[in-house]
Structure 1
Amino acid sequence: MLAMLLALFSVKIYFASGLLVILGIVGLPVALLIVFRPAFGVKLLVFLVYVMGTLIMLFPSLPIGIVIDLFILLLTLGRVLQDLNDKKFRLFKAPLVFSLALWVLWHLIELFNPIAASRVAWFYVVRPGIGYIMLFFVTYGLIKTKKDVKQMVYLCWGLSVLSAIWGIISVGQNYFDFEMRYLVAQDALKLVFIAGRYRAFGTMATPAQFGVITAQMGILAIVLLSAKYKWYQKLVFLVGIGVLFYGMAISGTRTGVVMIPVGAIFVVLLARNVKVYILTLIGGAFFAVLMVLPIQNYHVRRMQTAFSPEKDASYEVRMKNRERIKPFIYSHPMGGGLGTTGVWGKRFSPNTMLANFPPDSGYMRIAVEMGWVGLIIYLILWASITIKAMLGGWKVKDKEMKVIVAAIIASMLPLSVAEYAQDIIGKLPSNLLFWVWIGILFKAIKIGQETNDDDERILEGQQEPENAN
């Protein structure tokens, strides 16, 4: 009866009013659930992040940024309430605190950048730049057991596979009707149609984000295969790997291809085992041959250009743009100000030089907007994440956590290389998922170090020497 009355109210009075009522009825219990069950709230947020692109295409006026901000606020509140209940404030008791504090501080200092064209743009950029980092602290604090770690890993991996399946089906029929309408309305068809082919973007709205995330999760699953799973579980992983890498291929995003050998390097560094070196060498040789063989398949040929950028016209354009902007970067230690390039630059300072500069790299965007000082701080943050993760990974004793830690490191740390070619972490949904994954990684390391199981290599059955750690 209530549903019928709401439907009648929506049609007869005003659709938006009825929708607000429905959102109020559903939203209030969900908000309370997030606050008092924040562990569930994090999983719900991850699901929302994965379907965000599709939601935006279905409902272009949906204030997704506000929804995300509200989610993070409620999760943080729930985490603080847990600390108050335990009479211990542990929200910021986590790794990376110093480097993260430095990164946040520089964002705040940028408010006083004397040449910044817009303070409003600063506000729009600083919200995710600082607010999304809270997901690291919240996720790290809410994960308490091996079971929690595995649930989060499998959830993200499963949603990635589903997104890849969606992308494969969507491209197979030249996009769903609502996707095509959105792309036409946003004048974005030129970004997803290359060489007579549509690029897959799954449920993530952009091919670049989709291609990188599918590559990450494919790498993750390859490493997880070395754990002690049953045969049918490994079969699921194998099928998922095929789906993910095919999704990456049809996304047209070559950055994901580069991440595969980089991920293999991290696995080798963690394994410290001759057999792993041999297997990696064999796999690397196969990959290298695939990248140089004169194969006529379009997707393979496009991936091959990732390792010969000099043959790509867009690469030449990028290099020229970077050379042109270098004098500005050298002479402006604070940069031009947050939000002076890209979408925000065109919106809030459209007549400036930086608004028309294409920030085709995460590092380049930071160098232009936050100056060479900001770039150094960002590199310090990446160095801190990499060094702490590698050192912590070497000390993990629990055999199951060792594999999971290796899988996350192999799939996440290559983003430090991907940022050179794409602005990945600075955009949705990666800027949200990144901090969730870093929280999972460091808690998995902590849990793995606190167990008393015998040490074990990445590959099952390969025992370490007693003095390996």
Structure 2
Amino acid sequence: MSYSQTNRIKTGAIKLESGLGILFLVGFGLLAAVMIVKVGLMAGFLLLGLPFVIGLLSYLWIDPKAGIWLSLIMGFLISGLSRYIVAPWGLTIDIFLFLSLLFSLINSSIKIDWKRTKNDITIFSLVWMGYLIFEILNPHGNGLVAWFYAMRGIGFYQMLSVPMIYLFLREEKHFYTFLNILIILSLAGTAWGFKQQLLGVDAAEYRWLWDENHHEEHVLHGVLRVFSFYSDAGQFGASQAMMALLTGILAVSPLPTFKRILFGILAIVFFLGFAISGTRGALAVPLFGGIAYLITTKNFKVLGVGFSAMILVFVILKYTFLFQGVEQVRRMRTALDPNNRSLEVRLENQITFGKYLADKPFGGGVGTAGFWGARFNPDSLMANTATDSWFVKIWAETGFFGLLIHISFLGYVIGKGGAVCMGLTSPKKKSYAMALYASIVGVIFSSYGNQVFGQMPTGMIMNLAIPFLFLIPHWPEEKK
């Protein structure tokens, strides 16, 4: 028997071509049909999905890092999917990350060099998660179930994903995979957003807007704030602004001409996506991210031109009525109004939290504010006072000490990331590092106005982007 014949016999797909295999497939289909008739449609679909689940588990067993990519993809999709099919989509991120780590530990064929995880970013992530575990003991919390749901986006995903980036995704090609996934899914988000803008929302989105009472923040003066398949318009706008900044910086970087043109086109598309979201807080992404980029260039001419452009935009929005006929510009202009009622309400809420937390240095407990607070204790002050800001949320739930740890970590990322960018000499490495760094800084500062940093997909993007930034200096040197 030849090698090809032997290999053919061992192939699972070939076995299904046999009479027994065909009989199995027919029997499986009939069983699914019976379950649909006798038990219900969902039971039949679950049975039909079983081979897919088995295949996915087999793939993750062989290649655990695929779970990281799947978690990133689901970070983009969970909010949109939940509008069409009610299911715990968010738990798919937990499952993929957990299985990736579990399979990498128990699959003896996968060799792990744990020394790669001995770095400052991993240590910060573990310390932060350790503090969140300590929060279980907070007597003001809503219980273990509320803590479990809420802590995932705050620190659990970070704790799982950061070490796995250092273990399995250290190479340059992995960064490009990360970048390509961001671009493709963000473009899909832009396209879906323009579909909403030009053709209107579909039945599921209409129900989400009006029956679930999201219209007050998404339909202003009869104009839709586009949210695409993201959690809301604020997250969509911030994500699109981040991608516009990232691709815009790459467009003016010393990269091959074709790539620069492509990145330039993408930057324009993403900027338009940001514009139709009507998100004022997302202005902080290009503003502070742009400042971070200009500083890391160490080019005073570029720095001067960049700051001049920012001042010009500020003056136009603050002191003129140019482009006032454009709804998106009018909305952005209100972000610079010191008498804006939205800003006043946010400041009032912060005063309320300040009084409540005066004798609570460890906060009100993880899972007591925002969505999870409203779900598990809807009559509490924490649940009925909007946090708005990501940092206010961290402060409210974890107290002064939690906020101190979290801000220390983010400050460290900003400081060390800037040093990494300025220390690189390779034009290619420096270009990608500065683009990624500016995006991270922009998201961090924009999180003061909205809960950008912890919401999906931005939360998952940041969990991967931060370790990727610090791995760029370890790429192999370019051939001269």
Q: Do the two structures share a fold, i.e. TM-score over 0.5?
A: yes
Query: Which AA in structure 1 matches 2:450?
Result: Q
**Bigger mean CA offset, 136-145 vs 152-161:** 136-145
Deviation string, structure 1 residues 243-272 (Cα, Å, up to 9, x no partner): 211111121211111221211111122111
The alignment status of 1:176 with 2:202, answered yes or no, reads: yes
| Alpha-carbon distance in 1 for matches of 2:370, 2:102 | 33
SS at match of 1:38: coil
| Alpha-carbon distance in 1 for matches of 2:295, 2:31 | 59
Which of 448, 453, 467 is residue 425 of structure 1 equivalent to?
453
| Alpha-carbon distance in 2 for matches of 1:285, 1:181 | 42
Q: Is the 8 A contact 2:280 2:331 kept in 1?
A: yes
Aligned pairs for 1:278-357 within 5 A = 278-292=304-318, 293-294=320-321, 295-296=323-324, 297-308=326-337, 310-357=338-385
Corresponding residue for residue 390 of structure 2 = 362
Q: Is the 8 A contact 2:390 2:448 kept in 1?
A: yes
Query: Which AA in structure 1 matches 2:285?
Result: M
Structure with larger RCO (C-alpha < 8 A, sep 6+): 1
Which of 113, 124, 133 is residue 88 of structure 1 equivalent to?
113
Label 1:424 to 1:6 Cα distance change in 2 as closer, same or farther (>3 A). Answer: farther
Corresponding residue for residue 295 of structure 2 = 269
Q: Which structure has the bigger radius of gyration? A: 2
SS at match of 1:213: helix
Corresponding residue for residue 465 of structure 1 = none
Label 1:199 to 1:87 Cα distance change in 2 as closer, same or farther (>3 A). Answer: closer
Which of 154, 157, 161 is residue 132 of structure 1 equivalent to?
157
Deviation string, structure 1 residues 151-208 (Cα, Å, up to 9, x no partner): 2112212321221111111122221222213333423222311121111112213111
Corresponding residue for residue 8 of structure 2 = none
Query: Which AA in structure 1 matches 2:81?
Result: L
Label 1:37 to 1:372 Cα distance change in 2 as closer, same or farther (>3 A). Answer: same
Label 1:19 to 1:238 Cα distance change in 2 as closer, same or farther (>3 A). Answer: same
Corresponding residue for residue 156 of structure 1 = 182
The alignment status of 1:52 with 2:78, answered yes or no, reads: yes
| Alpha-carbon distance in 2 for matches of 1:83, 1:396 | 37
Deviation string, structure 1 residues 216-268 (Cα, Å, up to 9, x no partner): 00000111113344444333322222221111112121111122121111112
Corresponding residue for residue 17 of structure 2 = none
Q: Among all aligned residue pairs of Structure 1 and Structure 2, give the percentage whose two residues are the same amino acid.
A: 24
Which of 10, 27, 50 is residue 53 of structure 2 equivalent to?
27
Label 1:281 to 1:383 Cα distance change in 2 as closer, same or farther (>3 A). Answer: closer
| Alpha-carbon distance in 1 for matches of 2:450, 2:304 | 32
| Alpha-carbon distance in 1 for matches of 2:59, 2:116 | 19
SS at match of 1:365: helix
The alignment status of 1:41 with 2:70, answered yes or no, reads: no
The alignment status of 1:387 with 2:412, answered yes or no, reads: no
| Alpha-carbon distance in 1 for matches of 2:152, 2:374 | 18
The alignment status of 1:120 with 2:142, answered yes or no, reads: no
| Alpha-carbon distance in 1 for matches of 2:52, 2:112 | 32
The TM-score, its normalising length taken from structure 1, stands at 0.89
Q: Is the 8 A contact 2:125 2:155 kept in 1?
A: no
SS at match of 2:448: helix
| Alpha-carbon distance in 1 for matches of 2:32, 2:261 | 46
The alignment status of 1:76 with 2:101, answered yes or no, reads: yes
Q: 1:37: Cα distance to partner?
A: 1.5
SS at match of 1:307: coil
| Alpha-carbon distance in 1 for matches of 2:420, 2:103 | 28
Deviation string, structure 1 residues 305-358 (Cα, Å, up to 9, x no partner): 2233x2321111111121222122232101111111112112212232222111
**Bigger mean CA offset, 388-397 vs 375-384:** 388-397
Q: 1:91: Cα distance to partner?
A: 6.3
SS at match of 2:94: helix
Corresponding residue for residue 377 of structure 1 = 405
Query: Which AA in structure 1 matches 2:347?
Result: M
Unaligned runs of 5+ in 2: 1-24
Q: 1:140: Cα distance to partner?
A: 3.1
Label 1:40 to 1:98 Cα distance change in 2 as closer, same or farther (>3 A). Answer: closer
Q: Is the 8 A contact 1:10 1:16 kept in 2?
A: no
Q: Is the 8 A contact 1:217 1:244 kept in 2?
A: yes
Corresponding residue for residue 467 of structure 1 = none
Which of 261, 264, 285 is residue 238 of structure 1 equivalent to?
264
The alignment status of 1:259 with 2:288, answered yes or no, reads: no
Label 1:120 to 1:155 Cα distance change in 2 as closer, same or farther (>3 A). Answer: closer
Q: Is the 8 A contact 1:115 1:337 kept in 2?
A: yes
Label 1:248 to 1:452 Cα distance change in 2 as closer, same or farther (>3 A). Answer: closer
| Alpha-carbon distance in 2 for matches of 1:5, 1:301 | 59
Q: Is the 8 A contact 1:393 1:402 kept in 2?
A: yes
Q: Is the 8 A contact 2:364 2:399 kept in 1?
A: yes
The TM-score, its normalising length taken from structure 2, stands at 0.87
| Alpha-carbon distance in 2 for matches of 1:6, 1:243 | 48
Corresponding residue for residue 460 of structure 1 = none
Q: Is the 8 A contact 2:70 2:96 kept in 1?
A: no
| Alpha-carbon distance in 2 for matches of 1:45, 1:128 | 12
**Bigger mean CA offset, 402-411 vs 379-388:** 379-388
Q: 1:381: Cα distance to partner?
A: 1.1
Deviation string, structure 1 residues 86-109 (Cα, Å, up to 9, x no partner): 363246334323322321121111
SS at match of 2:335: helix
Corresponding residue for residue 198 of structure 1 = 224
Q: Is the 8 A contact 2:395 2:403 kept in 1?
A: yes
Unaligned runs of 5+ in 1: 455-469
Query: Which AA in structure 1 matches 2:150?
Result: V
Label 1:65 to 1:44 Cα distance change in 2 as closer, same or farther (>3 A). Answer: closer
Label 1:325 to 1:20 Cα distance change in 2 as closer, same or farther (>3 A). Answer: same
Q: 1:408: Cα distance to partner?
A: 0.5
Label 1:392 to 1:81 Cα distance change in 2 as closer, same or farther (>3 A). Answer: farther
Query: Which AA in structure 1 matches 2:265?
Result: V
| Alpha-carbon distance in 2 for matches of 1:112, 1:28 | 38
